[in-house]
Amino acid sequence: MNIGEILTPFELKSTSGNMVNSFDYHEQYALAIFITCNHCKYSQAYWQRIIKLANKFEEDNLAVIAINPNNPLVQPQDSFENMIQLKNQMNLPFEYLYDENQEVAKQLGATKTPEVFLFNSRRELVYKGAIDDSWDNEQTVTHVYLEDAIEYALDGIEVDYPEIPAVGCSIKW
């Protein structure tokens, strides 16, 4: 998916027991979709930061969704049952969805976990890629790429750096 393209509608099963679709978030000013998983050390390092971002921007009308596209036959830790356990352990304040057919990940053009796709109020892609510049140590972060992009998107301003390559594990197709 290229910057400026519109989000393709989707519906996926959530660890909350519901079916969640992209229209559920139509009132939010921006939508951040995190392609992530349970097993990847890069994804594990970012879960708390994603929670902090969701909480920080909740009042500013940012919607956050996490989506696991990994095939559990290739990576058993990424099964739906294990996703439910992770959701409960981490007390996620947002939906954690299972992309069982990997269609959403393919539509987005995702290749890594974690990789973020940020959409503005018109659901145009305004940022994709890395969350920040230090996956392994939050204390050494010097560039908060996603946080900056969220602030720009919420203010209706064009993002300065709309693509920063994501660092992480490959999606298990």
CATH (domain of 71): 3.40.30.10
Contact 1, 109 (CB under 8 A): yes
Write down the pLDDT at residue 29: 95
* Residue 1 is assigned to a structural domain of this protein: no
pLDDT for the residue numbered 83:
98
Within a domain: 2: no
- How far apart, in whole angstroms, are the C-alpha atoms of residue 154 and residue 56? 13
Average pLDDT, rounded, for the chain? 97
Structural domain including 118 reads 11-170
For residue 3, is it within any domain? no
pLDDT band at 41 (very low <50, low <70, confident <90, very high): very high
Secondary structure (3-state) at 132: coil
CB contact at 8 A, 104 and 73: no
pLDDT, tens digit, 9 for 90 and up, residues 134-152: 999 999 999 999 999 999 9
* Position 55 confidence tier, pLDDT thresholds 50, 70, 90: very high
Type of residue at 39:
H
pLDDT of residue 160: 92
Q: Looking at residue 38, what is its pLDDT?
A: 97
pLDDT band at 125 (very low <50, low <70, confident <90, very high): very high
Q: Confidence band (pLDDT; 50, 70, 90) for 157?
A: very high
Residue 98 banded pLDDT, cuts 50, 70, 90:
very high
Strand partners, 5: none
In a domain, 6, yes or no: no
Residue written as token pair 């000013």: 29
Within 8 A by CB and 6+ apart from 122, the residues are 6
Work out how many domains the chain is built from and give that number.
1
Section 46-67 average pLDDT: 97
In a domain, 157, yes or no: yes
pLDDT band at 82 (very low <50, low <70, confident <90, very high): very high
